[in-house]
Amino acid sequence: MFDIDQLRDTRGVATAAAAMERPAPEPAVAETRFFCTVTPFYQPIVRASDLAVTAYEALARGPADSPLHPARTLFATASGLGELPALERVCWTASLLHARRQGLFRRPGTRLFLNLSPDRIAEPSFHEFARRTVQEIGVDPRRVVIEVTEESRIRSNPDFVRSLMRYRELGFGIALDDVGTGFSDLRVLAEVRPDYLKIALELVRGVDVHPGRHHVVGSLIALGHAMGSTVVVEGVETEEELAAVRGLGVDCVQGHLVGRPAAQLLEPRMAGAPSPPALRRAA
C-alpha cells in the first residue's frame, strides 16, 4: 500500500502550475515546485526513410522508486482523487520546460508532442493556460503538437472539434493517437483532419507476417496521406516491422527499435541523418 500523500502533493504542485495562468516574466518558482513530482520522459519519432529525428513525444512518470512511477498508475490515482486536471497542467508545463532546457527547440524543425485528454482540450481555462505557458516559456506553438487521447470521451463531447480548432488557431499542431483501435470513428478523422495521424501499436505488431494487419495499416497510411496528414506508426520493435511499414509508405516511426523513452533527448539507436527538416505539414 503506497502513501497517497505522494500524489496529494500534486495539489501543491498544481498551485504552482496554476500560478502560471497569471502573467509572470519567468516560471522559475513553478519549475522548482513540480520537478520532484513529475519527470517527463521523451521518446523519439523518426523519419522512416533515414531514421532522422523529427519529433519527441513527452511521456510523464511519477516519483522514482514509487508505486506512482508508472504513468498508468499515476494518472489513474490522480483521477480517483479528482486531481487529473491539475496533473495534466503539471505534465504540460514540466514537459515544455525540460524540453527547452535540453535544447529541443534549438533543433531546426524538431517538434514536441504533448498528450492531452479531450476533457482538458474542451476546458476553456486550459486553452488560456496553454497559450500563456508557451508564451512565458518562450516556445513557438508551431513547434508543439497536441496528441489527443481517449476517443470514447470525444464521442461524448459534441463541442470537442470546435475546442480543438481553437488550439490550431493558436498555431499548435494536432495529432490523433491510436488510429485503427481507439480512433475508429471516421467522422472524427474527417472533421479534425489532423496534421499527424498515429497508427496504433496493436496493428503494427507483426505487420510483416500478418496479411490482415499489413492491409489495414496500408489502408490507414493511404487515408492519412489523402487527408494531408503526416502518418506515424507506433510500437515498431523489429527490423522486419520497420521494413514492412517503410514498404507501405509510412512517413515516420516510433518504437523501442529506434528509441525507448528517456529523461534525456536521445538520438535513435539506428543510423540516421543528424539534422532533419520539419515533418511534412498538412495542406
Over the stretch 187-238, which tens digit does the pLDDT of each residue have?
Answer: 778 888 999 999 999 999 999 999 999 999 999 999 999 999 999 999 999 9
Residue 211 or residue 79, greater confidence:
211
Check residue 83 and give its pLDDT.
86
CATH superfamily label, 5-253: EAL domain (3.20.20.450)
- pLDDT-derived band of residue 153, with 50, 70 and 90 as boundaries? low
Q: C-alpha cell of 213? A: 494487419
277 touches 108 (CB < 8 A): yes
To which residue does cell 493517437 refer? 177
Residue 74 reports pLDDT greater than 90: no
> Does residue 28 have a pLDDT over 70?
no
Measured distance CA(134)–CA(125) in Å, rounded: 15
Please state, rounded to an integer, the average pLDDT across all residues of the chain. 81
Q: How confident is the model at residue 30 (pLDDT cuts 50, 70, 90)?
A: very low
Q: Which residues pair with 230 in a beta bridge?
A: 196
Statement: residue 11 has pLDDT above 70: no
Residue 154 CA to residue 177 CA, distance in Å, equals: 12
Give residue for cell 516511426.
253
Report how far residue 227's alpha carbon sits from residue 250's, in angstroms, rounded to the nearest whole number. 14
pTM over 0.85? The answer is: no
Q: How far apart are CA 116 and CA 150, in angstroms?
A: 9
